[in-house]
Chain A
Amino acid sequence: MSSLDVNKTYKLFIGGAFPRSESGRVYEIKGANKKFLANPALASRKDLRDAVVAAKSAQSGWANATAFNRGQILYRIAEIMQGRSEQFVEEICALEGITTKAAKLQVAEAIDTWVWYSGWCDKLSSVSGSQNQVSGPFYNFTTPEALGVIALFAEGKPSLLGAVRTLAPVLAGGNSAILIASESYPLPAITLGEVIATSDVPGGVVNILTGKASELLPWVGSHMEIDGVDVAGLNKKQEDEIKLVGADNLKRISRFAPGNHPERILSFMEHKTIWHPIGI
């Protein structure tokens, strides 16, 4: 007789901890085969609020860590993911109904994505910054800096890669993030939270919510402590809506073409220009 499986409880990831939704709500996720998979938390606006508080308080420490240090931590995420590949492959297969081979490819690409952005941390300012030739006795230079707290609406499929390719660039730039997992395909994102929790990422830098994008969207859009949004997982109508509400604090809202690009990092950064006289 085989022993009964011990199923995993999928919770939120806020401030380095794994709480249930304060609302006590969950919703059912079924696999591609229509069988029950899990009851992830249905995050409320209060969970979002808590996540923003955690993200805000963690952000400056993360941004002020050396770029080298941030790069090492992102690489560490890749390392831990590699060790958990099997689990991700199983989750993806069950959820998306794709072949093991395809799921493995997705996990590999997700891991490579962390590695790629890890390497960007200490090169960004060389590529995107500048020393500007002003006409006068001044040293003038421009350098990118983190924007702050970024909300990410992850794509549904590919479920893991979709989450990683929105999250990794935002972290590389020194921002903290609130990842709102795809409503239908949330499980790999939560497991990703477990990876992050064991990867030296300071608590609060990454926060992961599961639930309904449509429910959280207006609160994300109107939250004045959220500085930017990646709308990857939103449809056109939802994107319009969040842009409208987001104008209240001039949120930087972007949608990116698939694939990895430094602009995914730079779109959530500000350029600061510093003038200083040259004299004796």
Chain B
Amino acid sequence: MIIDGSEKSLRKFLSDLPPVDQVGAEARAAMLATRSIKTSSKAWAIDMAISMVDLTTLEGADTPGKVKSLCAKAVRPDQSDLTVPSVGAICVYNDMVKIARTELDRIGGKSLPVAAVATAFPSGRASLAVKKIDTQDAVDAGANEIDMVIDRGAFLSGRIYDVFEEIRVIKEICGKKAHLKVILETGELVTYDNVRKASYLAMLAGADFIKTSTGKVAPAATAPVVLVMLEAVRDYFTLTGEKIGVKPAGGIRTTKDAIKQLVLVKETAGEQWLTPDLFRIGASALLNDLLMQRMKLRTGHYASANYVTVD
């Protein structure tokens, strides 16, 4: 135990964390962005990235039909090429969990997890009672993963123990049925120091994954933010022996973006994090670009969007 669960020990732990130098962190991320990933390593990276995608639809206009077609794409992203791996998970609002789970089971995606955004996503502005019900509802509907949002207002106003307690309570509800991903919404935390503190806070409270963003706030999963979070899981592992996953979400649209993320993982947390169990990419448009790049590598010519499905 690195903290005893009390507010005092949590505060002490977080205040003892080393600071992050913004310029230095951004320079490191920028340097890693210059890595040139070609040929065989590119092919490997594309397939790995596909298997890490949390294929997401989080719209007010989501319908059962839309979610079902998303499920089909998740299981077999490219109907013309069955060597393409399935994605990491699909990510939907609570009320779509049951539909998604049923559909996936029906079409051969039993092992593909369904993630639900619970706890008053995306703002997190609801009472704890509501958040608990929200979470319980998703778990009951068959969600394998809960993507919860933290109360950024509480964090920024210094009520970090409230944030900690909320995560702990939600984790209890998830129990063994669902993995807990904690969304920090780094765009609202603003500083890298806050990102580091919030990362540790979430891990200490029981997060299985720490996730950058809801996708509703910009900036989202910038490279330096992901770098700082990867450093956090790396160092947390050194400290506790426990591996926590990282999920950048928002703003990752192209194969190039995705490969840059994998480079960040490899050269920060290390190769052992290069698995869908420990790294996911929350995205929707990204998958098609990965598929087109994959076609390009296979066929040698540039692909057309007409050959990948719109959803």
Whole-angstrom distance between the Cβ of B99 and the nearest chain A Cβ: 43
Q: Is A279 part of the contact surface with B, judged by Cβ < 8 Å?
A: yes
What residues of chain B lie closer than 8 Å to A137, measured between beta carbons?
Answer: 23
* A-contact bits for B179-205, CB 8 A (1 contact / 0 none): 000000000001100000000000000
A277 at the interface (CB under 8 A from B): yes
8 A Cβ contacts from B22-48 to A: 22-24, 26
Is A278 interfacial (CB 8 A cutoff)?
yes
Q: Which residues of B contact A280 (CB under 8 A)?
A: 22, 190-191
The yes or no answer to A138 lying at the interface (CB within 8 A) is yes
CA distance A25 to B24 in the complex (A): 63
Contact with B along A250-280 (1 / 0, CB 8 A): 0000000000000000000000000001111
Compute how far the CA of A280 lies from the CA of B21 in the bound complex, rounded to whole angstroms: 8
Which B residue's beta carbon lies closest to that of A136?
Answer: B23
How far is it, in angstroms, between the C-alpha of A279 and the C-alpha of B26 when the chains are bound?
A: 10
Q: Which A residues are CB-close (under 8 A) to B190?
A: 280
Interface size on A, residues (CB 8 A): 6
Chain B residues near A279 (CB, 8 Å)? 21-23, 26
Expressed in whole angstroms, the Cα–Cα distance for A279 and B190 within the complex equals: 12
Q: From residue B295, how far is it (CB to closest CB) to chain A in Å?
A: 40
Q: Smallest distance from the beta carbon of A134 to chain B beta carbons, Å? A: 12
B213-248 vs A, Cβ < 8 Å mask (1 yes, 0 no): 000000000000000000000000000000000000
- Tell me which residues from 106 to 151 in chain B have a Cβ below 8 Å from any Cβ of chain A: none
Range of interface residues on chain B?
Answer: under 10
- How far is it, in angstroms, between the C-alpha of A280 and the C-alpha of B23 when the chains are bound? 9
- In Å, the complex CA distance between A137 and B26 comes to 11
A86-100 toward B: CB 8 Å interface, digit per residue (1/0)?
Answer: 000000000000000
Q: Which residues of B contact A138 (CB under 8 A)?
A: 23
Closest B residue by C-beta to A277: B23
B25 to chain A minimum Cβ distance, whole angstroms, is 9
Q: How far is the CA of A137 from the CA of B246 in the complex (A)?
A: 29
**What residues of B have a CB within 8 angstroms of the CB of A278 in the complex?**
23
Q: How far apart are the CA atoms of A280 and B193 in the complex, in Å?
A: 9
Q: How far is the CA of A256 from the CA of B24 in the complex (A)?
A: 45
Chain A residues contacting B22 (CB-CB under 8 Å) are 277, 279-280
Question: What is the CA–CA distance of A277 and B26 in the complex, to the nearest angstrom?
Answer: 11
Q: Which of A187-239 contact B (CB under 8 A)?
A: none
Report A-chain residues with C-beta under 8 Å of the C-beta of B191. 280
How would residues 127 to 162 of chain A score, 1 for a CB under 8 Å from any chain B CB and 0 otherwise?
A: 000000000011000000000000000000000000
CA of A277 to CA of B190 in the docked complex: distance in angstroms? 18
| Interface residues in B65-122 (C-beta closer than 8 Å to A) | none
Report the Cα distance A277→B23, complex, angstroms: 6
Shortest beta-carbon distance from A20 to chain B in Å: 59
CA distance A116 to B153 in the complex (A): 60
In the assembled complex, the Cα of A271 lies from the Cα of B191 at a distance in Å of 35
Cα A277 to Cα B22 with chains together (Å): 8
Nearest CB of B to A174, in Å: 32
Chain A residue contacts of B23, Cβ below 8 A: 137-138, 277-279
Q: Give Cα distance in the complex from A279 to B22, angstroms.
A: 5
CB distance from B301 to the nearest CB of A (A): 40
Counting chain A CB atoms within 10 Å of each CB, the highest count among B22, B23, B190, B191 belongs to B23
Return B68 CB to nearest CB of chain A, in Å: 45
Chain B 1-31 against A: per-residue CB contact (8 Å), 1 yes, 0 no?
0000000000000000000011110100000
CA distance A153 to B24 in the complex (A): 49
B196 to A: closest C-beta gap in Å: 13
Q: Which residues of A contact B21 (CB under 8 A)?
A: 277, 279
Q: A68 to B86: give the CA distance in the assembly, Å.
A: 73
User: In whole angstroms, how far apart are the Cα atoms of A60 and B23 in the complex?
Assistant: 34
What is the CB-to-nearest-CB distance from A118 to chain B, in angstroms, rounded to a whole number?
41
Q: In this complex, what residue of B is CB-closest to A138?
A: B23
Chain B nearest CB from A275 CB (Å) reads: 10
Instruction: Give the shortest distance, in Å, between B188 (CB) and chain A (any CB).
Output: 14
User: Which B residue sits closest to A137, measured CB to CB?
Assistant: B23
Which of chain B's residues has its CB closest to A276's CB? B23
Chain B residue with the shortest CB-CB distance to A279: B22
Cα separation A280 to B224 with both chains bound (whole Å) = 13
A280 to B190, CA, bound (A): 9
Interface string of A162-194 (1 = CB under 8 A from B): 000000000000000000000000000000000
Q: How far is the CA of A219 from the CA of B190 in the complex (A)?
A: 62
What 10 pairs across the A-B complex have the smallest Cβ distances?
A279-B22, A277-B23, A279-B23, A137-B23, A280-B191, A280-B22, A277-B21, A279-B21, A277-B24, A278-B23
14 A-B residue pairs with CB within 8 Å = A137-B23, A138-B23, A277-B21, A277-B22, A277-B23, A277-B24, A278-B23, A279-B21, A279-B22, A279-B23, A279-B26, A280-B22, A280-B190, A280-B191
* B interface list, Cβ under 8 A from A: 21-24, 26, 190-191
